[in-house]
Structure 1
């Protein structure tokens, strides 16, 4: 289905995520001359969910909170309307499931609720079969886009993929063997986000020199091959230990991992800039890093199950060679 909006074409990709009993989401793709970008659309399947949007002020509230989440008093100031009017419509939008509390902040001795829309877009889908379309997106594109929500701005990838230098470097005096696997990651991300104008790939040595707190980062490779991953390691609840034997240890479960196929998918606040995040795709060896990338790009529905926005996330996976060709093609979840 195509919707004409200015010079852009929109289509609903035939994919659904059932988040709970009453909420269904689909993936909306915007195709422009500069590429494709996507966002999730929450389906409004009952009239009581649509009714609050009949008010022009409620519509403005939803649009403003989509731009910048805020608490009602501050939002009233932004809109230059009486705060009681804002509270009235906020309550209706919350009751309809169109707004949710993103976080709570202390304000003047009390707790202020910062509100945001529950989805990036809303839609009404009428009964009918629709028309078949060819989709360039993977079935789990939506959950990956949510996992990497900090890395996109208006559909454009806004962050860096940091790989280990191909030259001898770091305290282990080694070269990165798992950096080529970033090509697999880049190919996947290119189907989700439009590219920015400058390069998104940086060497770990380059980031070390310029500072690691400047942007959101996806680190490819473990602490031996990637010195930014080494600097991040002490801040992880699942980290790498090379004091006695090369292994991965989890302070969450107390379990050690020593198999070379083991990889880690982690998302944590950037320790050098709390306003940014770091996603780590790493392994005990290069095959472990490949397992982490496979988990994110091929089995995201399983691997990212339980992910919550704003919380630290860890998933330990093990690569599997199911087709017997000597290379990992799937993962199992260890933790």
Structure 2
């Protein structure tokens, strides 16, 4: 059993042992609790504990034996001291829990904040993956005979989504854009890659508040009115699925594959920022990002939000 506490971006845990029934009485005195709080500092023998707490040695022996009978402490080691064997005691667990109700099924506790979890709803629902990830085919396809080079970013996205899941489904969750039929669009979708290499993104492009311009291949924002032309720029858009009421779609795409990498980093590393919406209109979940190469190795490893 573990005690779990979520603090900001950290998840803290501590092994614990459940205490119930007659064992609860061992916590009934102030001295008992002082001894239990002393033991996490390291194994100690009763005489040493008595000296540190300035109490009679026999009182400490009484509580230690009581703890041992109820499974709260155990002998860590023994030593010969002045012709006698001294037993050093330690806690069996660093924490003890009293439970007044049955355990309940829950989803995995994530270290990210609640806004990030809301952004991922309904793609992750009740601890289960509730979407399909669509990537562009690596084979030549479409009028421009394009080949997708950024499909492997789906691995990053899948691993990221997996951190929110409590259940594993053996059903395939990643499909190529060339494998889809009209019925496959009537669900929650994460589409990875721009409109040239991913035909699903192409179908959604005109409906997106931040989209790609086919003539210039630049990213154009209907929200801010700005145009972005750097190869490292990308976008993340969450919007209702126009092909299925009640379902949603997330577009993760860039002007080039480096921009798609930047958009992937935005989704997997800065979800809470995506949940804040566009800087010009927070009700619109559409962000433009630019990839950064902070360690100068030629690979995008961080991003800057442009809007």
TM-score range, shorter chain: 0.5 to 0.7
SS in structure 2 opposite 1:215?
Answer: coil
User: Measured at CA, do residues 301 and 154 of structure 1 come closer, stay the same or move farther in structure 2, by a change above 3 Å?
Assistant: closer
**Residue 159 of structure 1 corresponds to which residue in structure 2?**
131
CA distance in 1, matches of 2:5, 2:144: 47
CA distance in 2, matches of 1:284, 1:130: 52
CA distance in 1, matches of 2:184, 2:272: 30
1:16 and 2:3 correspond: no
CA offset at residue 27 of structure 1?
7.8
1:229 and 2:201 correspond: yes
SS in structure 2 opposite 1:295?
Answer: helix
1:272 and 2:243 correspond: yes
CA offset at residue 313 of structure 1?
0.8
Q: Is the Cα–Cα contact under 8 Å of residues 146 and 197 in structure 2 kept in the other structure?
A: yes
CA distance in 2, matches of 1:311, 1:218: 20
CA offset at residue 167 of structure 1?
1.0
Q: What is the TM-score normalised by the length of structure 2?
A: 0.63
User: Measured at CA, do residues 212 and 250 of structure 1 come closer, stay the same or move farther in structure 2, by a change above 3 Å?
Assistant: farther
CA distance in 2, matches of 1:271, 1:130: 51
CA offset at residue 320 of structure 1?
0.5
Say which one has the larger Rg: 2
CA offset at residue 186 of structure 1?
1.1
- Deviations 1:124-178 (CA, angstroms, capped at 9, x unpaired): xxxxx989xxxx9774264332211112232110110000111111122111111
**Residue 192 of structure 2 corresponds to which residue in structure 1?**
220
Q: Is the Cα–Cα contact under 8 Å of residues 144 and 296 in structure 1 kept in the other structure?
A: no
CA distance in 2, matches of 1:270, 1:130: 48
Q: What is the TM-score normalised by the length of structure 1?
A: 0.58
Q: Which residue of 205, 217, 222 corresponds with 2:178? A: 205
More strand by share: 1
Equivalent residue runs for 1:117-266 within 5 Å: 139-140=111-112, 142-193=114-165, 194-207=167-180, 209-243=181-215, 245-266=216-237
Structure 1: give runs of 5+ residues left out of the alignment: 3-10, 18-25, 30-128
User: Measured at CA, do residues 274 and 237 of structure 1 come closer, stay the same or move farther in structure 2, by a change above 3 Å?
Assistant: same
CA distance in 1, matches of 2:245, 2:283: 13
Q: Is the Cα–Cα contact under 8 Å of residues 164 and 226 in structure 1 kept in the other structure?
A: yes
Q: Is the Cα–Cα contact under 8 Å of residues 160 and 268 in structure 2 kept in the other structure?
A: yes
- Deviations 1:3-34 (CA, angstroms, capped at 9, x unpaired): xxxxxxxx5343238xxxxxxxx9899xxxxx
User: Measured at CA, do residues 271 and 277 of structure 1 come closer, stay the same or move farther in structure 2, by a change above 3 Å?
Assistant: same
- Deviations 1:72-126 (CA, angstroms, capped at 9, x unpaired): xxxxxxxxxxxxxxxxxxxxxxxxxxxxxxxxxxxxxxxxxxxxxxxxxxxxxxx
CA distance in 1, matches of 2:123, 2:150: 22
CA distance in 2, matches of 1:274, 1:229: 18
CA distance in 1, matches of 2:261, 2:188: 21
Q: Is the Cα–Cα contact under 8 Å of residues 220 and 281 in structure 1 kept in the other structure?
A: yes
Q: Which moved more, 1:298-307 or 1:136-145?
A: 136-145
CA distance in 2, matches of 1:139, 1:325: 29
Q: How many aligned residue pairs are there?
A: 212
Q: Is the Cα–Cα contact under 8 Å of residues 268 and 311 in structure 1 kept in the other structure?
A: no
CA distance in 1, matches of 2:205, 2:118: 24
Q: Is the Cα–Cα contact under 8 Å of residues 158 and 196 in structure 1 kept in the other structure?
A: no
